[in-house]
Amino acid sequence: MSHRFITGNRLKDGVVVWLSKTDQWVESSAHAQTYNQNDSEAFLETLKHRDDTSIVDIRAVEVEKYSNNSVLIERREQLRAEGPSVRPDLSPEAGGNRWAVPPFPLPPSTTSLSPFVGMYHYDESDRQFLYDRAEVFRDQIARRLSGELTEDEFKPLRLMNGLYLQLHGYMFRVALPYGVLSAAQMRQLAYIARYYDRGYGHFTTRQNIQFNWIRLEDAADILTILAAADLHATQTSGNCVRNVTTDHFAGAAKEEIIDPRLYAEIMRQWSTDHPEFTYLPRKFKIAITGSPQDRAAVRVHDIGLLAHRNEKGEPGFQVYAGGGLGRTPIIGTKVREWLPVKDLLRYVESILRVYNSLGRRDNIYKARIKILIREMKPEHFIALIEKEFESLPADYNILDPEIVQEVERRFGKPPFLTLSEKSFVLDKYIFENKDFSYWVSSNTHQHYMLGYISAVISLKPIGGISGDVSSNEMDAIADIADQYSFGEIRVSHEQNIVLPHVRKDDLFALWNKLVEAGLATSNVGLITDIIACPGMDYCSLATARSIPIAQKISKHFENLKKQQNIGLLDLNISGCINACAHHHVANIGLLGVDRNGEEVYQITLGGSGAEQASIGNILGPAVAADKVTHAVDAIVQAYLDNRLEDELFIDTYRRTGAKIFREAVYGTC
């Protein structure tokens, strides 16, 4: 007969709890009562009714019973009991207070003098909308804690405000619209991490930030603090239009045709609480890039918009629809070769109307627009879009130049100086300091203004956690942005930070500040610049851990000269089929899965989210966790042995096919 523990999460703060031998909810699984299967099933319904206002997600989990104790069987439940395997300082046994003890100082927004250039300036009505939303959620939380709302009634309300229940407690997902934020906003996020989380934030591939240790009773206060800095968690969950993502060099890149921030902001305003598109068949993701170089992976989004000039040289958009990753990875269908800027909202709305009308709502796995397009055939779907588009009134949702200009005015522009392209100061330090020269070669991007450059702060320290940043590091980034980048910051979908407008003459001083803060890793675009989701260390959907695998690979390839010799190479790791780390479009992709209780990793090769987008091909059988680093090393060595001069990994793979890599891996694993 199988045996069980009964577990759940405390409603008010999300802490993992276990039912003890004295019928009390305790935080240590060591004191949990062991039930046989029949007794636990009979008791569960009683508990769910009895403890509805104090405990959530009550369920039984299997244990192995021994003479003196019982041991949790599933790795997920072991992690719930022990805390994240990658952060021992956050385990239940770490000691000290889980959260900071009030009174707290006033938020930075009350005193911050950071400029808001490059940011869309909210007016009082925008800000009041956010404050009102926070108060509505405050009332909903109070009704849940009092028992007036059941968990089933409350769950969609908290999800609409970005609050999830994950492995160890509540996770709060905060929107960073199109990945742009100010130094003042970064300080506000640091304040939340320090006083309402446990000192950390995690930047995601959706250009959002997640806090993994939030208490339900604090959630409305956090929304109010966010609102004070023009931040929010609106539409970071639910079957609606999610955060519109874009190129992290938007408004700074030398090769840019259109500044995508303007149109991402227009779509954000248009889609927020849209009465027709708030309850779509499934979540809906839009990406937009303003340059011919696709740095936003537009072809793997529900709608992808790529800046493009027509034969007359007029700027517009190439439009893709039905791309996506997850369970069914698909490269989007090109539905318009060129769309005039003025028709952007009209055409996006036409696509959404067709999807909202015909998308499936009976099967969550077949509800995305990519499945609809595949099943009805692309040409039929395009015909329906065009028909819907042509039926719109001639003056409906036209983006007149005056509208775009007003949005642009509210962004503000940095007070650039008139400089020469050549920086003798920069050249001097590149020549004199090898470490600095390495960082410049990998962590900078050309700027459209003479004498300026964009700098990338890698959030992938060797052996670190991809996308994680401490509250102290957030404050340091904010200070550096204020000093060197007009207070403007970007978050990339590769989980890095960008300072978009840096004087070349100041780059060496900026780098020294990063060195002092421990943020000067020179690996952007290299094999240790690994995109990794939180995986089973945090996520309730994950089937395997991502972070420890990324850490081991990162340490294995630590030598910078070796990384540079390998060259540009994407390596992404997802902890489940939902593919939050975009492993399908990585040159080397790793997908963690559960195989009879063991974490194993499927390898895909040849993926790309760039202009020649492609879905990676499965190389062969999944490999055990302790074999993954060896397998990746074998793949890299096969590439080095077979590449032509200056040939990138993706090009070698496309030229040779999978055979040489398959032989390298499965001859050694």
Q: What are the residue ranges in the chain where pLDDT is below 50?
A: 669
Helices then strands, counting H and E runs in the chain, come out as 20, 27
Q: What is the Rg, in whole angstroms, of the alpha carbon atoms belonging to the chain?
A: 25
Tell me the HSE value of 555 on the side-chain side, using a 13 A CA sphere: 10
The CATH number of residue 279's host domain is: 3.30.413.10
Which tokens belong to 400?
């007149």
Q: Please check whether residues 398 and 303 belong to one and the same domain.
A: yes
Q: Please check whether residues 470 and 555 belong to one and the same domain.
A: no
**CA 151 – CA 401 distance, rounded (Å):** 47
The CATH number of residue 149's host domain is: 3.90.480
Task: Give the burial string for 341-355 (b: 16+ CB within 10 Å, else e).
Answer: bebbbbbbbbbbbbb
| Residue that terminates a domain, selected from 35, 58, 83 | 83
**CA 317 – CA 402 distance, rounded (Å):** 19
Q: Under a CB-based contact definition with an 8 Å cutoff, are residues 644 and 596 in contact? A: no
Percentages helix, strand, coil for the chain, rounded to the nearest 5? 40, 20, 40
**CA 66 – CA 15 distance, rounded (Å):** 27
**CA 152 – CA 158 distance, rounded (Å):** 11
Class of residue 470 by CB neighbours under 10 A (exposed 0-12, middle 13-18, buried 19+): middle
**What is the DSSP-derived secondary structure letter of residue 179?**
G
Which tokens belong to 551?
């850490």
Q: Please check whether residues 399 and 448 belong to one and the same domain.
A: no
Q: At what angle do helices 424-432 and 507-517 cross, to 10 degrees?
A: 50
Q: Under a CB-based contact definition with an 8 Å cutoff, are residues 519 and 470 in contact? A: no
Q: Please check whether residues 431 and 563 belong to one and the same domain.
A: no
How much is the pLDDT for 668?
53
Three-class DSSP labels, 521-554: CCCCCCCCCCEECCHHHCCCCCCCCCHHHHHHHH
Class of residue 115 by CB neighbours under 10 A (exposed 0-12, middle 13-18, buried 19+): middle
CB proximity list for 125: less than 8 A, separation 6 or greater = none
Asked if residue 522 belongs to a domain, the reply is no
Pairing of β 286-289 and β 303-309? parallel
Tell me the HSE value of 339 on the side-chain side, using a 13 A CA sphere: 25
Q: Please check whether residues 280 and 158 belong to one and the same domain.
A: no
Which tokens belong to 403?
């509208």
What are the residues facing 232 on neighbouring strands? 175
Q: Please check whether residues 253 and 401 belong to one and the same domain.
A: yes
CB proximity list for 253: less than 8 A, separation 6 or greater = 247, 290, 291, 293, 445, 446, 447, 448, 454
Asked if residue 216 belongs to a domain, the reply is yes
How much is the pLDDT for 37?
87
In this structure, the number of other CB atoms found within 10 A of the CB of residue 17 comes to 23
Nearest alpha carbon to residue 588 among 599, 576, 598, 602: 602
Domain that holds residue 598: 531-666
Asked if residue 571 belongs to a domain, the reply is yes
Q: Please check whether residues 160 and 261 belong to one and the same domain.
A: no
How much is the pLDDT for 93?
78
Q: What angle do CA 330, 332, 333 make, to 5 degrees?
A: 125
Asked if residue 96 belongs to a domain, the reply is no
Domain count, the chain: 5
**What is the DSSP-derived secondary structure letter of residue 402?**
H
Q: Under a CB-based contact definition with an 8 Å cutoff, are residues 614 and 329 in contact? A: no
Following CA atoms 570, 576, 278, 332 in sequence, which dihedral angle do they give, to the nearest 10 degrees?
A: 40
Q: Under a CB-based contact definition with an 8 Å cutoff, are residues 566 and 551 in contact? A: no
Q: Under a CB-based contact definition with an 8 Å cutoff, are residues 333 and 381 in contact? A: yes
**CA 167 – CA 164 distance, rounded (Å):** 10
What phi, psi does 455 have (nearest 5°)? -115, 140
Q: Please check whether residues 230 and 248 belong to one and the same domain.
A: no
Asked if residue 374 belongs to a domain, the reply is yes
The CATH number of residue 483's host domain is: 3.90.480.20
Whole-number Cα distances in Å, 316 to 260, 286, 379, 438: 11, 16, 22, 37
Asked if residue 173 belongs to a domain, the reply is yes
In this structure, the number of other CB atoms found within 10 A of the CB of residue 237 comes to 18
Q: Please check whether residues 429 and 543 belong to one and the same domain.
A: no
**CA 239 – CA 160 distance, rounded (Å):** 9
| Residue that terminates a domain, selected from 212, 238, 264 | 238
Which tokens belong to 141?
């939380």
Nearest alpha carbon to residue 287 among 270, 269, 309, 305: 305
Q: Please check whether residues 232 and 254 belong to one and the same domain.
A: no
Asked if residue 645 belongs to a domain, the reply is yes
| Residue that terminates a domain, selected from 482, 517, 552 | 517
pLDDT in tens, 330-372: 999 999 999 999 999 999 999 999 999 999 999 999 999 999 9
Both ends of the chain: CA-CA distance in Å? 37
**CA 534 – CA 532 distance, rounded (Å):** 7
CA 339 to chain centre: 28
pTM score: 0.97
Q: Which amino acid is at 512?
A: N
Nearest alpha carbon to residue 276 among 344, 352, 348: 352
**What is the DSSP-derived secondary structure letter of residue 167?**
S
Q: Please check whether residues 228 and 252 belong to one and the same domain.
A: no
Whole-number Cα distances in Å, 2 to 5, 36, 73, 80, 610: 11, 6, 11, 20, 50
Q: Under a CB-based contact definition with an 8 Å cutoff, are residues 600 and 669 in contact? A: no
Which tokens belong to 228?
């004070």
What phi, psi does 316 have (nearest 5°)? -165, -160
What phi, psi does 475 have (nearest 5°)? -65, -40
Q: Please check whether residues 365 and 469 belong to one and the same domain.
A: no
pLDDT in tens, 503-543: 999 999 999 999 999 999 999 999 999 999 999 999 999 99
Asked if residue 135 belongs to a domain, the reply is yes
